[in-house]
Structures are given as C-alpha cells and as structure tokens.
Chain A
Amino acid sequence: MAFWLKYKNGSEDHESMRFEGIKFYEHINVVREEAQTLNLKLYSHLLGARREWDIVISANELFGTSNLIMQAESAGLGYLKGFFNAENQWLCISTADTEPMSGWIHVVIAGGRFPVEFIRGHKYLPQVTVTLRESLR
C-alpha cells in the first residue's frame, strides 16, 4: 500500500515523501452521545466519525545508505522525524510516483517520544509505527 506523507511548519515550504509501508490499516472511529430517557428509551446520537490509520514503515525503507564512515541516518528516517515534529501533517493514499496534487487528508499525530523501535536491537534497522487520525469529521 503506497501512500504519501506531507508536513509543513509555519510559512516554510511543505515537505512530502512517498512510502510503501509494511503495514497499513484503516479504521473508523465513531463518537456518539449515548443516554437513556426517563421512560427508559435509549438513544445514541452520532456526533461524528473520523478515519484512523495504523501504519508501520520498516527498515527496508529506513535502512540508511550510510556506511561506517559517514554514520548518517537514512532520508526516510530523517523525513519521518520531521513529520513527527511538524505543526501540520497530511496523508494521501496514492501510488503515484510524483507528489499527488489532490487527495490530501489533514491528520494529527499523538505527541510523545518518536515511535521508533529497532529490529533485533540493531540501530541500523529502525521501524516506525504511527497512528494518524483524520483531523476533520
């Protein structure tokens, strides 16, 4: 499942990158107001719903092209750190090879520590797991 990520900080130009991901799951998260009337009638009022995506991008895309001398992180991992640390983020589900002109979904991402783990404890095998939530209903 190919997809694009985009982020933008303030008045800077946006940055986008295409990923394949090894896991890409879409969910829907519905918010309802539920209660019971005095005559015991139940109601469940729909307030809204948003899509959520659980995404895993693994070391096959994040493995650095660096070597022992350079010790540089990969472009993909550097991009994801920028995405995680950005003011605004977007997702576009597209297999296009160039940045799509449309289909971008504004998303939010939880704060905290950058969600990277290292396969077999190897620092050159990073794997990033993120959940993106649609910002608008």
Chain B
Amino acid sequence: MPVYNNIAKIRIAPIEHIKLYYPSAPSSPLFSIYNLESGSVFSIAAIEADNDQGGTTIVAWELNITAIMAENDYATKADMVSAVAGYKLSDVDLRLKPLSGQPNGAEVNISCDSGSVGVIAYSANIALEYVDGRGPRGVIRIKGLWSVDAFGTSDFTSVYQQIAGFS
C-alpha cells in the first residue's frame, strides 16, 4: 500500500522542462526551456522554528529549482538572461521527469495566483557556471515559499501523489 503523503519521497525530483512567467504576460510563459541537462532538479525543504517541546515546528516550505540549460549559443538567450536577472517572476510551471513507470511524468504547476497551492514569493537568478566538468552552462536557480497548508490542500494532494509516482 503506497503512502501518498510521504513527503520524503518528493523532496527532490528531476525536471524535464520549465516555463517562466512574468507580470507583463501573466497567462502565457515568456520563456519555455525544454533542453535541460541532468542535474536540473526540483526540491522541497522544510523551514523550521524551535518550539516549546524541545523540538522544531515546520513553519513553511521552501522550494528550490535548479535548471541547467543545454544551449549552443547563449547570445540568443540574451533577452532571457536579462529578464531573469532583472524582473520579478510571477509564476513557474515545471514538468517533472517520471520517477516510476509513468510514461509522461507529472506536470507540476507551481502558481502564484492559483490560490491554495500558490507560491508566495520567488527569487530567481541566472549564472554561467561550470557544471561537472561539462563546460559553462546557463544555470537558473529559483527559490520560493509555500505555506504549511500547501500539503493539506486537495489540489496539491493529487500533485504530490503524482510526483511520488502514485498517480
């Protein structure tokens, strides 16, 4: 019997593609990046605070996205580099690679304006880095926050069941 709410199973998952949205065009992604290299991952970590029982309480969830682009000519990405560096993200959509026998993986929509599962804040940056000896790659790193309620909502339940491979 699978355990659907075992968060440990979904702490980290490889990304297949990523879409970036900005306030200037909130309903369609300004940039869609399909050519991602291995090491592109989505992870969730707990933000904890000390409680009065000698332990800690989870007060929010931090999500981290690392997207490593496979790109021959970064000059063609100048507008994207400029946008990631200069504008505040309004939304991110991810497609995760399947972790189990699922043929198509799980579409994970992390949306600022979707209400209950909404990410409350994003920080994004981009850099050219040497990745595992493969030479310079454009690396986008995005950090966001979820409230503790995110995992309790029905719309997220279905998402994390899929991420965990139990659709």
Contact = CB atoms under 8 A, between A and B. Distances in A.
Partners in one complex: yes
B21 to A, nearest CB: 10
Contact of B59 (A1, A64, A68, A119): A119
A131 B73 CA distance: 59
Contacts of B112: 67-69
21 contacts: A22-B57, A22-B59, A25-B52, A56-B52, A58-B49, A59-B49, A60-B49, A60-B148, A63-B145, A64-B120, A67-B112, A67-B119, A67-B120, A68-B88, A68-B112, A68-B121, A69-B112, A119-B49, A119-B60, A122-B145, A124-B60
Contacts of A60: 49, 57-60, 147-148
Secondary structure class of chain A's binding surface, majority of residues:
loop
Interface of B: 23, 47, 49-52, 57-60, 88, 90, 112-113, 118-122, 145, 147-148
Secondary structure class of chain B's binding surface, majority of residues:
loop
Given A23-B52, A59-B49, A127-B49, A68 B57 contact: no
Interface of A: 1, 22-25, 56, 58-60, 63-69, 119-120, 122, 124-125, 127
